[in-house]
Structure 1
């Protein structure tokens, strides 16, 4: 990883990071050990309200279960009973969502545990791979590695399109739904491949990751501004999301394998442009969606906590970064965190627009704080 600069303000940054990390461990994580946990289903509720009560469940998603598996796997050795919770989540992933007939994992089940949306989506499978890689690294249980291998196998055999990319969604029996590739699932697949390579040598995964990034450069990078579009180039009604630019930048910049690739060079070139259009310079708020059409401009000004976290994490890998990192961490603490948890979204005027707290958000905070901890180390 390239060296980062340090200055006299590091004690301020260290103290602030200690504060937000304690908030995470003492406020946010206990929400998902207590009121956010459905004991009968052994699954996290999808979301809690501002008073820490579960929203009436409409569904449970495999992706949400996998993100919480990552969360508690990452906390093993730090938080009491994290290992027991991770084990329960791993069992629930297999018990509730695995498709014994066709292989792979369902998207969701209903509140009573019956399969609901039985399609197979890449986003879900990428998170299952990501979570199992982290969990296996902590426990080294053969069953966990066998599920990791099963996820890799089904992604390669069912989702791959043969050109380095992957279908976003398939039917339950793997029949095509003509979705084609989409940016966000592919980014999380790259993240999952990187997680796998961080815990074991795997030449097939390494090759698939390089081919994926090569194809992303060819099919998704806007040639004028070097930003990654959400759909392949030429698709109708395309756009880009600053939060995803920053997320990709972190993945590429932090990887010895991917740093120096053409895709990395594109995201490097696009960083200042993304900041200029996508970040409010006064508040540090990251805007949700932007157009690159002839008119250009803002498509959605919602300020989401996950995008704030991804921008902050990306800044830790920028040169001369200490002042921007400190400023953005202050913005995250002041605008997104509160005594009872966090604000998921603010609107274009900066007003809180969602009071619920989804079970999927702690994943973004955990990865952001891990990046900060590495930066301060």
Structure 2
């Protein structure tokens, strides 16, 4: 028997079974206030990395990541709280911008001093994504300038003169620490879609076309259509159902020509079917973390972000959502927030609530019917 959240009842259901109204209401009343209050370090003006689910007390901080600050900047820009968003934008620049070498540090320590100084594509993608949303909502000239500057830097520094972007570089960009990975490229696609919407600059169409072609060439597992985590043929590769659903929304939901031209849309239709067939627990509706190329579960952990991406992909396809929304609510939401992870046997394996998760909730819930 799988346990249920012990922190309180989920949000009340909507009269429309496919509606996201109840999820959005829970987000507004139980999630956002945490990160304006207990989850925000007012002295440093940074979001804590995570809070306790029962009393929202912050976990003792060991670091603050630029990516977490950027995601919170998106969250509050999206929510229309531009005062808090402006604070986060200022903090992002103050703590994480590398004035010497350019780009963005990965993290600062508990006192706000640079800690992990490497330059990773994932962080830079979220800076672009957050600045695009903040710029669009606020009209900030600084945010528009920063998203353009960071996009140019990504092209110039992460590719070592080519189109294939590496995942991590040394502080001064001189040494490659990690080669191309799927996940940073996916979030860069998300960021450049947001930048295109915010700026109207056709340069982002060109960037998206190049990125989509790279992903199609290096990461697509042709027998399933899935986009693998590592370049195809790499040892230890895996297929994550949540990322198939996320790519499905980004490529097909955006209707941007770059993905169709690269041949990704048809493959992602097959990837959706593969992920749904092998990556969903038929009894609970839970989305597992990872499969091998034959569809065997190699990591049965159920992370909340993968559940929200499944909802978003279902909505993009126009499929019925009612049953999946209810399963998700029962397993992952409670009165004081959410369950971050469940193990393969259904037990809560991570109970603290990270500051990065509201981004997943906001993006998914926005796609659901009213």
Match of 2:367 in 1: 371
Q: Counterparts of 1:219 and 1:140 in 2: how far apart (Å)?
A: 37
**CA offset at residue 149 of structure 1?**
1.2
Q: Is the 8 A contact 1:302 1:347 kept in 2?
A: yes
Q: Secondary structure at the match of 1:12?
A: coil
Match of 2:280 in 1: 279
Match of 1:359 in 2: 355
Match of 2:68 in 1: 64
**CA offset at residue 146 of structure 1?**
1.1
What are the equivalent positions in structure 2 for 1:1-377 lying under 5 Å apart?
11-13=15-17, 17-50=20-53, 51-76=55-80, 82-161=81-160, 164-258=163-257, 260-261=260-261, 262-292=263-293, 297-319=296-318, 321-322=319-320, 325-372=321-368, 375-376=369-370
Q: Is the 8 A contact 1:164 1:214 kept in 2?
A: no
Q: Secondary structure at the match of 2:174?
A: coil
**CA offset at residue 256 of structure 1?**
2.3
Q: Counterparts of 1:269 and 1:134 in 2: how far apart (Å)?
A: 31
Where does the alignment leave 5 or more consecutive residues of structure 1 unmatched? Answer: 1-9, 77-81
Q: Counterparts of 2:161 and 2:218 in 1: how far apart (Å)?
A: 14
**CA offset at residue 11 of structure 1?**
4.4
**CA offset at residue 180 of structure 1?**
1.1
TM-score, normalised on structure 2? 0.93
Q: Is the 8 A contact 1:165 1:186 kept in 2?
A: no
61-70 or 236-245, which deviates more: 236-245
**CA offset at residue 354 of structure 1?**
1.1
Higher RCO (CA-CA < 8 Å; seq separation 6+): 2
Q: Is the 8 A contact 2:170 2:177 kept in 1?
A: no
**CA offset at residue 160 of structure 1?**
2.5
Q: Counterparts of 1:205 and 1:272 in 2: how far apart (Å)?
A: 30
216-225 or 63-72, which deviates more: 216-225
